[in-house]
A and B are shown apart, each in its own frame.
Chain A
């Protein structure tokens, strides 16, 4: 372990804001994109299914 304590880990030698601000935003972006692609897929599926069901036979 290169860190003396968890506190030292979170402080990042005084660069905590910048390091966690960077990694945090990356995490938000990735989580957001995963949520969006899954929602897009589900919405496309449901819309196409409805369109198919409403077609005149």
Chain B
């Protein structure tokens, strides 16, 4: 398999077009299954009652917020190193979805914090670093939007992405490094999860749905960006004769 072949926008465009319905369908099915387990199979929590069900979106959204940033930084690094057009497009296409998931993580955190801690917000290390992540996403998008020349805009955004990625391990380890009100992780790679299996499953299915969703919307956005950037090429000009 030749990677350069898939790195070409003219190959990527139709391929992404075929993958979008697939990822959308998977996202939808997984979300339905995940929501069903979240609300109708997972039992009531013995400490938090029904209020704990917020976990089924809070944790997947928080994971996505960090993961998308790392993927965005990865594409930025590839773009800066090899100047590949599609890498910058992918980095740009992921930012709004990452910002959306960060907002959802913060919002659902507030709606969970209020009944359990008695406060919508506290300036705890975990919450504050996640808020900084939100500002990083917004900052990257604002910076890219502020520079007219696409190449300079790409490179400036990519640089900010790379500088900001240092915040991701800070978020992840914040509950270990500082004494936070936010609880430590319930799921870890190194030890057994400290939650009921069915709850864990619901969370994992929801996380998978979020993944599929993020891929689908990022591909739609990337396709629009490819059209925009490649508008002078013969293949885009030929494509524009047809339907969107």
Contacts and interface: CB of A to CB of B under 8 A. Distances in A.
Contacts of A30: 100, 213
A24 B220 CA distance: 24
Contacts of A52: 231, 237, 240
A26 B35 CA distance: 12
Contact of B244 (A13, A36, A45): A45
B115 A18 contact: yes
A18 B236 contact: no
Interface residues of B, number: 37
A19 to B, nearest CB: 5
A37 B16 CA distance: 14
Main secondary structure of the interface of B (DSSP, over half): helix
Contact of A37 (B41, B49, B221, B236): B221
Contact of B43 (A2, A18, A37): A2
Nearest to B109: A22
Interface in B163-212: none
B49 A26 contact: no
B45 to A, nearest CB: 10
Interface string A15-26: 101110111011
B40 A18 contact: no
Contacts of B103: 29
Q: Which of A12, A19, A33 has the largest count of B CB atoms less than 10 A from its CB?
A: A19
Given A15-B50, A45-B244, A29 B100 contact: yes
B111 A26 contact: no
A45 B223 CA distance: 10
Interface in A3-49: 3, 9, 12-15, 17-19, 21-23, 25-26, 29-30, 33-34, 36-38, 40-42, 44-46, 48-49
Interface stretch (B51-59, B66-74, B151-159): B51-59
A19 B45 CA distance: 14
A18 B220 contact: no
B112 A18 contact: yes
Interface of B: 39-41, 43-44, 49-51, 53-54, 57-58, 61, 96-97, 100, 103-104, 107-108, 111-112, 114-115, 213, 217, 220-221, 223-224, 227-228, 231, 236-237, 240, 244
Given A45-B244, A48-B236, 6 more contacts: A1-B40, A13-B50, A14-B50, A14-B51, A18-B111, A37-B220
